[in-house]
């Protein structure tokens, strides 16, 4: 993305130079357009083929000018592209260093693995309540978007021990794995519990069959968003007054929730999943 704009500008300048060279030879030497284009390309490519053609003095001066302008443009092009590439790489490196430094400062924080639809709701809940947290996301584009929104984000696989250690799992209060596939959530839970057996782990599950596997892997609680949504829909048609009260209450009071307690096993994101039954 960063290289695309200067590259487009370079191509436009190069096209203008080729057109100018072709017109110049056609006008000054009286050559056909194809011969003029051929000579322009030979000069700009510095190959020197076909330079034995007879030229007037005006044609020779024009050739000198064309070589000089071509050299200047080539230097500008290399400088522009190199600067953008260096700027991009240096910016990414400094961004990673800053992110890792801020992560090392975290204490009693939560780790959110996966920033999909469910994970994004968890992140928003944490941001509203002022709870310290760090996100682990495999998709670099999504991770960059989260960082721009103010979320401390690490790019990597949450099932990798090194990534979890970078996220400060040794100092974390809890871990939420909200990855879209049950298998990945099982791997993350196993890895996290292997590093911290006492860590509070809450995970999402797609299928009912994955619940037992996640609990065996060490998850303290398994939440099934689709099952919870189905129960809310059922309540909405069977007991509409109760359902409207539940949804309306949480919608009005979600932002008014006080910051989470520092101690205990109470998760700060409980208001995000307050409609979800324990499974």
The predicted-structure confidence for 42-98, as pLDDT tens digits, reads as follows 888 876 655 567 888 888 899 889 989 988 988 888 887 777 777 666 666 666 677
Rg for the chain (alpha carbons), in Å? Answer: 31
- Dihedral (CA of 177, 181, 182, 187) sign: negative
Question: What residue ranges define each of the domains in the chain, with the CATH number in brackets?
Answer: 4-93 (1.10.287.70), 107-271 (3.40.50.720)
Q: How far apart (Å, rounded) are the C-alpha atoms in residues 259 and 239?
A: 32
Question: HSE of 18 in the Cβ direction (CA atoms, 13 Å)?
Answer: 13
pLDDT for 243: 52
Contact 108, 173 (CB under 8 A): yes
β-pair type (110-113, 174-177): parallel
Phi and psi, residue 133, nearest 5°: -155, 165
Contact 271, 255 (CB under 8 A): no
CA neighbor of 217 nearest in space, from 198, 195, 193: 193
pTM score of the predicted model: 0.57
**Helix, strand, coil shares of the chain as percentages rounded to 5?**
60, 10, 30
Helix/strand/coil for 112:
strand
pLDDT for 137: 94
pLDDT for 105: 85
Query: What confidence category does residue 165 fall into, taking pLDDT thresholds of 50, 70 and 90?
Result: very high
């Amino acid at each position: 993305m960063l290289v695309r704009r200067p590259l487009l500008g370079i191509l436009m300048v190069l096209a203008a130079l080729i057109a100018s060279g072709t017109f110049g030879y056609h006008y000054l030497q009286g050559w056909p357009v194809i011969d003029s284009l051929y000579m322009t390309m030979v000069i700009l490519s510095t190959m020197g083929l076909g330079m034995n053609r007879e030229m007037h003095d005006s044609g020779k001066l024009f050739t000198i000018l064309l070589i000089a302008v071509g050299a200047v443009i080539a230097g500008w092009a290399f400088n522009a592209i190199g600067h953008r590439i260096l700027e991009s790489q240096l910016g990414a490196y400094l961004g990673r260093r800053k992110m890792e430094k801020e992560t090392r400062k975290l204490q009693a924080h939560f780790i959110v693995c996966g920033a999909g639809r469910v994970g994004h709701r968890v992140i928003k809940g944490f941001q509203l309540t002022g709870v310290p947290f760090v996100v682990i996301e495999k998709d670099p584009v999504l991770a960059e978007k989260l960082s721009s929104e103010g979320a401390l984000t690490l790019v990597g696989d949450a099932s990798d021990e090194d990534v979890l250690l970078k996220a400060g799992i040794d100092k974390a209060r809890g871990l939420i794995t909200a990855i879209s596939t049950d298998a990945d959530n099982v791997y993350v839970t196993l890895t996290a519990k292997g590093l911290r057996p006492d860590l509070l782990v809450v995970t999402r599950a797609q299928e009912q069959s994955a619940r037992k596997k996640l609990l065996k892997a060490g998850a303290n609680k398994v939440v099934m968003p689709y099952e919870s949504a189905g129960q809310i829909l059922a309540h909405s048609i069977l007991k509409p007054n109760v359902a409207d009260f539940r949804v309306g209450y949480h919608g009005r009071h979600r932002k008014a929730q006080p910051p989470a307690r520092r101690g205990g096993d109470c998760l700060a994101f409980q208001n995000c999943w307050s409609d979800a039954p324990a499974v």
